[in-house]
Chain A
Amino acid sequence: MSALFVLVFVSIGIAGLFLMAFIWNVKNNQYEDKKGAALRILHDNELLQESNINKS
């Protein structure tokens, strides 16, 4: 039964990690510009591709 002791603390610890991740997200302004991130990802590689074409 004493395994339960360990498990309870492990589960709280894991949940705590998620809480920290959440706080870190908010602190880092990751929710500030939701639209921008969605658009940015579309064009991430455009310049890279062009420079590859120029080389070949």
Chain B
Amino acid sequence: MFTTKDRNTYIFVQKVPETLCYHCGVACVTRNIAIDEKVFCCEGCKLVYEIVAENGLCDYYKLQSHPGLSRIKSIRKEKYAYLDNEEIARQLYKFTDGDRTIVTLYLPGVHCSSCMWLLEHLHKINPYITESRLNFTTKEITIHFTKSNVSLREIVELLATLGYEPYISLGDADMKAVKGFDKQKIYKLGIAGFCFGNIMMMSFPEYLSGDTGIGMKYEHLFRYLNLVLALPVFFYCGSEFFSAAWKGLKQKTLNIDAPIALAVIITFLRSVYEIASGAGSGYLDSMSGIIFFMLVGRVVQERTYKFISFNRDYKSYFPIAVNVVTSEGVENKMLSDLREKDVVRLHNDEIIPADAIVVEGNATIDYSFVTGESEPVRVLQGQQVYAGGRQTVGQLTIQIIKPVAGSYLTSLWNHYSFANNKAETNDRNSIVHLMSRYFTYVLLGLALVTAVYWGFNDPSKIMTSVTAMLIVACPCALLLSVTFTNGTLLRLLSINGLFLRDTTVLEQIGNINHIVFDKTGTITQGSESNVVCSGHQLTEEEKDILYAAILPSKHPYSKALVKWLGYRQPVKVAEWAEATGKGLECTAGALKVMVGSAAFTGVNNDIQADEKTSVFVRIGNQVTSFRFLPVFRPEIPEVITELSHNARLSLLSGDNDNQRPVLAGLFGSGSELRFGQKPIDKLAYIESLQKKGDKVMMIGDGLNDAGALQQSNVGITLADDINNFTPSCDAILDSSKLKSFPDLLRLAGSGCNIIAASFIISLVYNFIGLFFAMQGLLQPIYAAILMPCSTLSIVLVTSGMANISALRKGLTVVSDGE
């Protein structure tokens, strides 16, 4: 549980686990970086060890061997300079009184108990940090410090040096209000449970005393105590259902809360009347029981995954501040204060905050965030760069031409599909509300018939029988079966790696008939590629030469080739030169080496028959061509075949179409494949499918799919790490569980059947109750027996059926420790 995936695979690839880094456990290339007889893989790890050791915190290493993170990136000295700007820093403070300050930071690197131990002993390293507390579930650290002695920047830099670099984004500045989860419901649940238990207890004497009764004195005591206890249940705990019903009525729809609210109100009024007139003890026990169980159902259904956010937009990806070049020098400016014509300086790996023009520097922009196209693009001076791109090499100066919110990428969020709250729309069209509507009409009809019947035969019984009917026929059983089924399914799906935003998504999944895939990162595995070599087969010496030639190049193809060649002893090369966008050349001894496009290497077109060739290598007179094929996730072919049985499939890709044949083979002939799709094109395609009446599920992975994910009926993000940054979506799928995805979809779809089955059971109870109620024979004790029985059987049936159907699909039903 505490080992990171990366580390294991690395060791696996190396096969010989030589000396492991004392800090992070990665195999060390050299034994030179050592201190106190402990060997480290890099200076970063050594530095962390030194800080930890200096402050007597070496237990960090005892608690867990190799607890640190591998690949500690050295941070640029000025990277966090913007935190010295008080205005920016204040956005991040949770509290400050001018000196004592509390700040909460998100640390994605936290992974084990050692991390927790070290981070909670920060005060040993810096005495001005008075308290640090880590929330392990959300990976957030809350630090108390005195601002006059230590600045936020120093704290952030300390965390970064320790390998726990905080993730600070524009989203942090205005996200605070969203967090904090609804405790009201838990309070209501607790109070309802308390009152229900006590009311039940105090109702027993009267039920069980038989014909003699328990005597006036106690009868009154118990009845009035019950009434007092029922007040908070009715007015506080039950308010949920009243307000939901009222909301529905205002929109002129009968939702499921309406008949429930009606039943609860009538039960309460009749009970008050009975108690006040001394006619009986009322149905307060049943009423509070029902409210308690329904609240349990709601809480189960609305369990949230605190560690996952479903509502991220571009703000979570963008930095909080940028370096703006002014006449007085470089200053830090909040992104929200960024204006057109501002000149911004970006460093390696930083994100372009708004559409801009390149003023100076070597612009090689990685647009994979925006377009899904994996290959960085070179942009010349004076040309435009778009927000969301990431500078990959060195420093870059740009001049902003559009405000942040008006940029090409961010304007996607202004599209009307983002104005629509999917959860609410889903809920309004839910089948549950449809069922409850008919239910309500039938019920009111029956009540009328009963009233008319007794009106002719015995008018004194109208009130009792009609109210009893409405009480008994409360569709709480339906609500319970829905909430418990959904809650169980949600739990089962999350154990198996599919995290849904809320339960309305379940029903949508059941209706899906068209599934659209994104290519890069979704069906292919990130940036990895397969190298296929044709033409002249390189000898070992030539491979050494090629290795030396391409090692200095930062082009992704060069990097992929280096990976393919493996580690080699570089030979000496001379006259190395790179022609941007074309290739590179150098000489190795007497041989001339050229790597690049066909035109650059002078390969004639006959040899270039294979169009998919990406790179030509000419060593002397021998030409070798290389092709880079994407690596499909291994489970993909099987998953696609299985999904194609139940739904039509499409593929949208931001990349060019040179992999069309492979993908066409994968998807089969009936599927539509579209290439070169911009984010807005993807959205439009989904919309066009929906206009044809399809229910579309979009499976994507990046910000470039955000529009399509939003527009689709169900947008699923495939994530290698669920704690990572995923765009706004309806569900997140853990990519390691991709194999069982078709089963998970089927499980989610089975929800409707389970609900239908348990609804039938609840109807049986309702009819038994109605049978007594219509004759005016419903005694409180029958209600008190029927209610828990029906609840219990519904809970058992729903969770039992959901678990069984999961087991039959070969899924796990027991979580491995939450």
Q: A12 contacts which chain B residues (CB < 8 A)?
A: 198, 225
Main secondary structure on chain A at its contact with chain B? helix
Query: Which segment, of B131-139, B616-624, B715-723, faces chain A?
Result: B131-139
Whether the pair A26, B63 counts as a contact (CB closer than 8 A) is no
Given the contacts A39-B116, A46-B63, A47-B59, A8 and B225 also touching, CB distance less than 8 Å? yes
Partner of A34, one of B124, B137, B217: B137
B453 interface residue per 8 A CB criterion = no
B187 interface residue per 8 A CB criterion = yes
Separation of A18 and B197 alpha carbons in the complex (Å) = 13
Summed over the interface, the residue pairs from A and B with CB atoms below 8 Å come to a total of 66
Given the contacts A23-B190, A47-B59, A35 and B198 also touching, CB distance less than 8 Å? no
B300 to chain A, nearest CB (A): 15
Separation of A26 and B299 alpha carbons in the complex (Å) = 14
Whether the pair A47, B121 counts as a contact (CB closer than 8 A) is yes
Separation of A43 and B67 alpha carbons in the complex (Å) = 14
A27 to chain B, nearest CB (A): 7
A19 to chain B, nearest CB (A): 4
Q: B62 contacts which chain A residues (CB < 8 A)?
A: 46
Separation of A34 and B137 alpha carbons in the complex (Å) = 7
B56 interface residue per 8 A CB criterion = yes
Separation of A33 and B307 alpha carbons in the complex (Å) = 10
Whether the pair A36, B116 counts as a contact (CB closer than 8 A) is yes
Whether the pair A33, B136 counts as a contact (CB closer than 8 A) is yes
Given the contacts A34-B818, A35-B137, A50-B59, A26 and B183 also touching, CB distance less than 8 Å? yes
Separation of A46 and B117 alpha carbons in the complex (Å) = 9
The size class of the interface chain A forms with chain B is 20 to 34
Whether the pair A32, B135 counts as a contact (CB closer than 8 A) is yes
Q: B191 contacts which chain A residues (CB < 8 A)?
A: 19
User: Whose C-beta in chain A lies nearest to the C-beta of B138?
Assistant: A33
Q: B217 contacts which chain A residues (CB < 8 A)?
A: 1
A42 interface residue per 8 A CB criterion = yes
Q: Mark A18-30, 1 if CB is under 8 A from B, else 0.
A: 1100110011000
Whether the pair B136, A39 counts as a contact (CB closer than 8 A) is yes
Q: Mark B758-791, 1 if CB is under 8 A from A, else 0.
A: 0000000000000000000000000000000000
B194 interface residue per 8 A CB criterion = yes
User: Whose C-beta in chain B lies nearest to the C-beta of A41?
Assistant: B113
Q: Mark B213-239, 1 if CB is under 8 A from A, else 0.
A: 000011001000100000000000000
A3 interface residue per 8 A CB criterion = no
A15 interface residue per 8 A CB criterion = yes
B435 interface residue per 8 A CB criterion = no
Q: Which of B168-209 contact A (CB under 8 A)?
A: 183, 186-187, 190-191, 194, 197-198, 201-202
Q: B116 contacts which chain A residues (CB < 8 A)?
A: 36, 39-40, 43
Q: B120 contacts which chain A residues (CB < 8 A)?
A: 40
Q: B194 contacts which chain A residues (CB < 8 A)?
A: 15-16, 18-19
A22 to chain B, nearest CB (A): 5
Q: A39 contacts which chain B residues (CB < 8 A)?
A: 113, 116, 136
Q: B57 contacts which chain A residues (CB < 8 A)?
A: 47
Q: A18 contacts which chain B residues (CB < 8 A)?
A: 194
Separation of A36 and B117 alpha carbons in the complex (Å) = 10
Q: B225 contacts which chain A residues (CB < 8 A)?
A: 8, 12
Whether the pair B187, A23 counts as a contact (CB closer than 8 A) is yes
Given the contacts A19-B191, A27-B183, A50-B56, A36 and B137 also touching, CB distance less than 8 Å? yes
Given the contacts A15-B197, A15-B198, A36 and B135 also touching, CB distance less than 8 Å? yes
Q: A8 contacts which chain B residues (CB < 8 A)?
A: 202, 221, 225
Q: A42 contacts which chain B residues (CB < 8 A)?
A: 63, 113
User: Whose C-beta in chain A lies nearest to the C-beta of B121?
Assistant: A47
Q: Mark B95-136, 1 if CB is under 8 A from A, else 0.
A: 000000000000000000100110011001000000000111
Separation of A19 and B201 alpha carbons in the complex (Å) = 16
Separation of A18 and B198 alpha carbons in the complex (Å) = 13
B21 to chain A, nearest CB (A): 22
Whether the pair B190, A5 counts as a contact (CB closer than 8 A) is no
Partner of B134, one of A11, A27, A34, A36: A36
User: Whose C-beta in chain B lies nearest to the C-beta of A37?
Assistant: B136
Whether the pair A26, B186 counts as a contact (CB closer than 8 A) is yes
A47 to chain B, nearest CB (A): 7
Separation of A34 and B303 alpha carbons in the complex (Å) = 14
Separation of A11 and B57 alpha carbons in the complex (Å) = 51
Whether the pair A43, B117 counts as a contact (CB closer than 8 A) is yes
Whether the pair A43, B59 counts as a contact (CB closer than 8 A) is yes
Whether the pair A32, B137 counts as a contact (CB closer than 8 A) is yes
Q: B221 contacts which chain A residues (CB < 8 A)?
A: 5, 8
Separation of A50 and B63 alpha carbons in the complex (Å) = 13
User: Whose C-beta in chain A lies nearest to the C-beta of B112?
Assistant: A39
Q: B183 contacts which chain A residues (CB < 8 A)?
A: 26-27
Q: Mark B552-564, 1 if CB is under 8 A from A, else 0.
A: 0000000000000
Whether the pair A33, B137 counts as a contact (CB closer than 8 A) is yes
Separation of A40 and B186 alpha carbons in the complex (Å) = 25
Separation of A1 and B205 alpha carbons in the complex (Å) = 14
Q: B124 contacts which chain A residues (CB < 8 A)?
A: 47
Separation of A55 and B138 alpha carbons in the complex (Å) = 38
A28 to chain B, nearest CB (A): 11
Q: A23 contacts which chain B residues (CB < 8 A)?
A: 187, 190
User: Whose C-beta in chain B lies nearest to the C-beta of A31?
Assistant: B186
Partner of B187, one of A26, A33, A43: A26
Separation of A8 and B222 alpha carbons in the complex (Å) = 9
Partner of B136, one of A1, A15, A35: A35
User: Whose C-beta in chain A lies nearest to the C-beta of B205?
Assistant: A4
Given the contacts A8-B202, A15-B197, A15-B198, A22 and B218 also touching, CB distance less than 8 Å? no
Separation of A46 and B138 alpha carbons in the complex (Å) = 24
User: Whose C-beta in chain B lies nearest to the C-beta of A27?
Assistant: B183
User: Whose C-beta in chain B lies nearest to the C-beta of A36?
Assistant: B136
Q: Which of B287-306 contact A (CB under 8 A)?
A: 306
Separation of A43 and B137 alpha carbons in the complex (Å) = 18
Separation of A26 and B185 alpha carbons in the complex (Å) = 11
Q: A15 contacts which chain B residues (CB < 8 A)?
A: 194, 197-198
Separation of A9 and B818 alpha carbons in the complex (Å) = 39
User: Whose C-beta in chain A lies nearest to the C-beta of B202?
Assistant: A8
A54 to chain B, nearest CB (A): 8
Given the contacts A23-B190, A35-B136, A43 and B218 also touching, CB distance less than 8 Å? no
Q: A34 contacts which chain B residues (CB < 8 A)?
A: 137, 818
Separation of A7 and B795 alpha carbons in the complex (Å) = 34
B227 to chain A, nearest CB (A): 14
The 3 closest A-B pairs by CB, nearest first: A36-B136, A39-B113, A46-B59
Q: A43-B113, A47-B124 are in contact. List 18 more A-B contacts (CB 8 A).
A: A5-B221, A8-B225, A15-B198, A19-B191, A23-B187, A26-B186, A32-B306, A33-B135, A35-B137, A36-B136, A39-B116, A39-B136, A40-B120, A43-B59, A43-B63, A46-B59, A46-B63, A50-B59
Give 14 A-B contacts (CB < 8 Å), ordered by A residue: A1-B217, A11-B201, A12-B225, A15-B194, A18-B194, A19-B194, A32-B306, A33-B138, A35-B818, A36-B135, A43-B59, A43-B116, A46-B63, A47-B121
